[in-house]
Copies of this chain bind each other. A is one copy, B any other.
Amino acid sequence: MSSILITGAGGYVGQELAAELLRTSSPDTTVTITDVQAPPVPPSVASGDAASRLKTVAADLTSPQAVDELINESAPYETVFLLHGIMSSGSEANFDLGIKVNLDSTRYILDRLKATMPGVKVVFTSSLAVYGPTKPGFVISESNLPPVPLSSYGSQKLIIEILLNDYSRRGFLDGRAVRLPTVTVRAGKPTQAASSFVSDIIREPFHGKKAILPVAKDTPVWICSPYTIVKNILHARDVPKEAFGDSRSVNLPGLLITVQEMLDALEQIGGPEKRALVEEKYDADVDRIVQSWSPLFDSARARELGFADDIPLIENIKRFAGSLA
């Protein structure tokens, strides 16, 4: 019998992660998925056995009482995946909401886990937005550049990483923080992430809808497919804790591409009609946030810890298109 919790499980990555956990874990594993509104059963979860091992809970994690109900000593989790959060543009637009959700609720959860199930494994999805801009050509690794976030989102993610690291060092929890590249192609709807367009420009045209490109076409982005992201979030759980050394934070592998390459791949797979649905409309606010992210990363540490490299862009978009069929 083992039990797993996923927060922010109404989001695209959370849904995919839940489905994958049900698909790959032992038949006595139950998965609790929670979000502000009760997350749906992921479409790929077959009814019957798998669905019966899934528990869906609506919980406002900014409420200590809601957290206390979800997390208590009578039903310890084996692993907790912390995926909830207000995304980058959202946290920049509403500071109070961002800090309440991204920092305070997450910290309260860490303290509650420490108190009720000490030593529990915690996988936290952080972001490469912990880094600010770099000198042109500089390739970031976990050990050569101090994270100086230029967004409240990145600041809040980084603070949780530091807490998770200290809690892990002291043995309160067994934390692992994975810094996600921009995930594309996300299914669902445009999000409040400044990087939302990186999925929108593929997803919306495949649904026959227009998408806005708010940045220049030669903008480089560091992306990862959802398939690889889910694989790597799961892998984060399985790395022996000793392997991390002094820091539990890892920059996940990604692919360096330009927006133009994405548009080309869209046209190659979807045809010129789909490509024509992407409208260029510059947005200075979005561009400022996107420009503050570096697209150049060295994934040596992640590879050493056994994380997977991403699949090629064309393969990624083909899989997305195939999932719609």
Residues of A within 8 A of B (CB): 95, 132-133, 142-150, 152, 155, 158-159, 162-163, 165-166, 169-170, 246-247
Contacts and interface: CB of A to CB of B under 8 A. Distances in A.
B155 A166 contact: yes
The DSSP consensus for interface residues of chain A is: loop
Contacts of A146: 142-147, 247
A132 B166 CA distance: 12
A247 B148 contact: yes
B149 A162 contact: yes
Given A132-B246, A150-B169, A155 B145 contact: no
B170 A163 contact: no
A257 B150 CA distance: 36
Given A132-B246, A144-B144, 18 more contacts: A95-B170, A133-B246, A143-B145, A143-B146, A144-B146, A145-B146, A148-B165, A148-B247, A149-B162, A149-B165, A150-B169, A150-B246, A152-B166, A155-B162, A155-B166, A158-B162, A159-B162, A162-B162
A46 B211 CA distance: 71
Contacts of A169: 150
A166 B88 CA distance: 14
Given A143-B145, A146-B146, A147-B146, A152 B165 contact: no
A104 to B, nearest CB: 10
Nearest to A154: B166
Contacts of A152: 166, 170
Contacts of A159: 159, 162-163
A92 to B, nearest CB: 9
A159 to B, nearest CB: 5
